Amino acid sequence: MTLGEPDGRAADDSWFTYESIAARGGTRWMMAVAGPSNAGVSRLGNWDISRRLIVRFAADGTVTAVSFDQKECNTEGTPGGTDCLAASGSDLASEDAKHRAGVILSRYDQFQFVESDHPGCEYPSVTSRKHSGSGRSFGVGERALVWQDKYGELWHALPLENIQEVRPVEKHWPNPWLIPIKRVDGSCIFISVGTEKYLVIIWAKELQEQARAAILASMQAASREHGNGTASH
């Protein structure tokens, strides 16, 4: 409690993260680069120290482990942004998501998605969309659907137990064929997957039918496992 509100936390509150950044002392060097078509400045060495505390909890809220990470880094001026430890614990969340999926049964190279809060899982108009985008490496796991964001850095998971219904594929022009997935909380996500094989026929209906069947098969297998009294973690 003394540490205050964490900088990051797991989706199930199984861990908290706290970060601090300290500037290193001494002389800081930079290198200027000039050419006929471009110019810029690059930092030589790391200027800052990133420290991150990770506190892990059991299901009853008891602290089970505490770890401390430290890294020399730059908060600014690095390609793609900072290279310091992620205060939010996004790297830990990605590992959680991949672990939550279990064995990956079907994998796809890319995907598109549209989120919807409409009653009845209706496809949202452009002006009423909650969130939409694209990503890569979508997978159907034995316990969850998992996918990477568009930059290939973060993983996300949708546990099968949180899925209420997977409806037949739908076409919403000019968008591709989509798989409507209704969550237990009533919200919906429309997903369309792609593979290298289908680059000529992008987001083909046949592929969406196959992906939908894979999701349903995984859900049915998970349901049978629970029905037999064996827990799926």
What residue segments make up the domains of the chain, in order of their start?
A: 8-88, 95-227
pLDDT at 44: 55
User: If you ran DSSP here, which 8-state letter would residue 128 be given?
Assistant: G
Among all chains, which residue has been given the structure tokens 């909890």?
A: 57
| Global confidence as pTM | 0.64
Average pLDDT score, the chain: 80
More confident residue, 127 or 17: 17
Give me the pLDDT at residue 200, please.
47
Hey, what are 192's tokens? 């369309």
The predicted-structure confidence for 98-137, as pLDDT tens digits, reads as follows 777 788 899 898 888 988 888 788 888 766 666 788 887 8
Smallest Cα–Cα separation from 139: which of 187, 200, 98? Answer: 98
pLDDT score for 151: 66
The three-state secondary structure class of 198 is helix
Q: What is the C-alpha separation between 68 and 20, in angstroms, rounded?
A: 11
| Range in 30-44, 103-117, 120-134, 159-173 with the lowest mean pLDDT | 30-44
Evaluated on CA atoms 54, 60, 62, 64, the torsion sign reads negative
49-58, 131-140, 157-166: range with lowest mean pLDDT = 131-140
Distance linking the first and last C-alpha atoms of the chain: 29
Q: How many CB atoms lie within 10 A of CB 109?
A: 14
What's the pLDDT band for 142 if we cut at 50, 70, 90?
Answer: very high
pLDDT digits (tens, 9 = 90+) for 188-198: 999 999 887 65
State how far the Cα of 46 lies from the Cα of 29, in Å rounded to an integer.
10
CATH number of 95-227: 2.30.29.30
Residue 219: predicted pLDDT: 95
Whether residue 24 is predicted with pLDDT greater than 70 in this model: the reply is no
